[in-house]
Amino acid sequence: METILPFDDRDGSIWMDGRLVPWRDAKLHVLTHGLHYASAVFEGERVYAGTIFRSLDHTRRLFASANALGFEIPFTIEEIEQAKRDTVAAMGFNEGYVRPIAWRGSEMMGVSAQASKIHVAIAAWEWPAYFSPEAKLQGIRMKTGRWRRPAPDTAPVHAKATGLYMICTMNKHEVEAQGYHDALMLDYRGFAVEGTGANLFMVKEGKLYTPKPDCFLNGITRQTVMALADKRQIPIVEQHITPEELMKGEEVFVTGTAAEVTPVGSIDDHAFTVGRITQTLMEDYSTLVRNPAAQKAA
């Protein structure tokens, strides 16, 4: 059985409310509002060759997500940017993952929490890949999940808010127990929209199709990959995609900070090819994230 290194018992430092503290001392109270009512927002970011990819875009989205949940982060964007750099430097690695998070504290316990203090923490750790090299080579196996993305008038669907990921965990646990890598998420209308933590793309007849992000997060990696496809003069179509239309695709892949560009080998009983466009965009993305000069030109 694989040994799990718990996230509360590690060496290193975590930036918390303005200063670096020993990793094991970064704690919060059990009656924290963010724990009970999901009043928290976060980001997931990658470090490549010592640099956080599209760091400023992630920080700006963190602030926008907090605004969507009705609270204000008590630091400036540049202070958070510097804190992320300080955290990565303190951890001393060149390749890894960064997790900023902001949440309401424990001053009030109840649905209302206007007087609760807003806390911010930033952790970073080494994390080589979300899916195994074998899965990325052959394509991951997905199964349609039963929990759906909510409508825009029922949740802050464009925020990276912790509460929106509960259905992702439920879907992912359910399909993993059946031997799949991830779940395909449908939205409230029944359209295919994403994986549990990654955006969705389909290739058909030389065109790249991706769902309209009208009820889910328009990922930063998604935007990056669309820009790379545009440079390759690959036609891009944003439209609603039914599960039936998706199964007729020639290639399917998902994108995200953790997943990067990961091909899909099958969804339910439908198989896909890890084809030329998917492979090209995987290579282009890998080249881009490790080339600061190319990022500035992008």
Q: Would residue 160 show up in a list of annotated catalytic residues for this protein?
A: yes
How far, in Å, CA of 175 to CA of 180, rounded?
5
User: Cβ distance 239 to 209 under 8 Å?
Assistant: yes
Mark 166-201 as b/e (b = at least 16 C-beta within 10 Å): ebbeebbeebeeeebbbbbbbbeeebbbbbbbbbbb
How far, in Å, CA of 200 to CA of 216, rounded?
11
User: Cβ distance 122 to 89 under 8 Å?
Assistant: no
| Burial class of residue 110, CB neighbours in 10 A (0-12, 13-18, 19+) | exposed
What are the CA-CA distances from residue 275 to residues 5, 67, 234, 256, 279 (Å)? Answer: 36, 41, 14, 19, 6
- Which of 160, 172, 204, 212 is flagged as catalytic? 160
Q: Which amino acid is at 101?
A: I
Dump strand ranges (E) for the chain. 13-16, 19-22, 40-42, 45-48, 51-52, 96-104, 118-125, 140-144, 182-186, 192-194, 199-204, 207-210, 236-238, 251-256, 260-267, 270-271
What are the start-end ranges of the H helices in 69-194? 77-91, 133-138, 166-176
Query: Which one-letter DSSP state was computed for residue 165?
Result: G
User: Cβ distance 112 to 102 under 8 Å?
Assistant: no
51-52 and 45-48 beta bridge pairing: antiparallel
Residues belonging to the active site: 160
